[in-house]
Amino acid sequence: MPTDLLSMNDLTDGDVRDLLDAAALYKRRAVSGAPLGGKSVVLLFEKPSLRTKVSFDIAVAELGGHPIYLGRDEVGLDKREPVEDVAQILSRWAGAIVARVFAHRSLVRLASAATVPVINALSDLEHPCQALADVLTIRERFGKLDDVSVAYVGDANNCALSLALACAATGANFRIASPSGYGFSAEAIGAISSRFQHRRDAIADHGQDPAAAVRGADVVYTDVWTSMGQEEEAQLRRADFQDFQVNEALLAKAKPTAILMHPMPAHYGEEVPAGMLAQHQSAAIDQAENRLHAQKAVLRLLVAGE
């Protein structure tokens, strides 16, 4: 059983399958009980959030726990006090720490010093809770994950890495197209290749050709060109990504039954045109809803050990 969830690679393929099944039961309201049994869960966020913050808060409360939100100015990781001190103190009071950080290294340090589970609520490296909600959404839409082809267009960022690893864990195929200089790091490619080691033909890097990546895909996935913390690069990125917008013309190259996915928030007019996430192929709102159900399953597994 995993002790922390910092990366999709903290979960076995079996863990992911079990979490998706549990999340589906939570969504159908087919599970009751209060597995957190009054435990407090600290939501320690260095960056703003709508979906992750609210869905974790509700998930903890509905599982019989007590959420405590701490924003950036309240704790000051490594500014007001070291990460390790924060981890040890919170571990004496709370049953888990859900943390959104700028640097993944902060999460690793939190998990090393904490004696309670640490859950990644987004770092610069990964967004595993988003990826679990994503594959849950894909499974709902297609009734399966095996051989579903997921095409990611855009920045090979934290969401892209967690999504690729989630596809590997669940039998889905993964393709990507990114502008030059915005592809996966060598370390990320190593992690993805190793998780796809028995299905090498299920991954494809289409370089700088979004049309090739999307052609015949079941899922077209994109994310913002400029993530939180990269605002100074926004103008440069708008120029570098201008041929990577997921618009009606690009989506039309996918299967007619394809769905459009985006973790949100969107920068309308950049990676998608205004209105694109409201059109009939978009699954973005379902993805957001599924954050709640997937995170309930994660909390039950890591905090309650069920």
> By the criterion CB under 6 A, which residues form the site for ligand CP?
49-52, 122, 130, 263-265
* Cα(246)–Cα(233) distance, integer angstroms: 20
Minimum CB distance to ligand CP, residue 289 (Å): 12
**Between 49 and 295, CB nearer to ligand CP:** 49
Minimum CB distance to ligand CP, residue 204 (Å): 25
**DSSP classification of residue 77:** B
* Cα(143)–Cα(152) distance, integer angstroms: 20
**Between 39 and 51, CB nearer to ligand CP:** 51
- Other Cβ atoms within 10 Å of 258 Cβ, number: 20
Spell out the residues 6+ positions from residue 197 whose beta carbon is closer than 8 angstroms to its own: none
**Between 9 and 130, CB nearer to ligand CP:** 130
Minimum CB distance to ligand CP, residue 197 (Å): 29
Task: Check if the beta carbon of residue 152 is closer than 8 Å to that of residue 174.
Answer: yes
Which of 120, 115, 218 minimizes the C-alpha distance to 161?
A: 120
**DSSP classification of residue 17:** H
Burial environment of residue 181 by CB neighbours within 10 A (0 to 12, 13 to 18, 19 or more): exposed
Minimum CB distance to ligand CP, residue 130 (Å): 5
* Cα(99)–Cα(76) distance, integer angstroms: 13
**Between 74 and 81, CB nearer to ligand CP:** 74
**Between 9 and 49, CB nearer to ligand CP:** 49
- Interhelix angle 104-113/83-93, rounded to 10 degrees, is 50
* Cα(303)–Cα(162) distance, integer angstroms: 21
- Bridge partners of 139, per DSSP, are none
**Between 153 and 304, CB nearer to ligand CP:** 153
**Between 122 and 303, CB nearer to ligand CP:** 122
Minimum CB distance to ligand CP, residue 287 (Å): 8
Following DSSP, what letter does each residue of 191-253 receive, concatenated?
Answer: HHHHHTTT-GGGEEE-TT-HHHHHTT-SEEEE--SS-TT-GGGHHHHHHHTGGG---HHHHTT
Minimum CB distance to ligand CP, residue 237 (Å): 18
Minimum CB distance to ligand CP, residue 55 (Å): 8
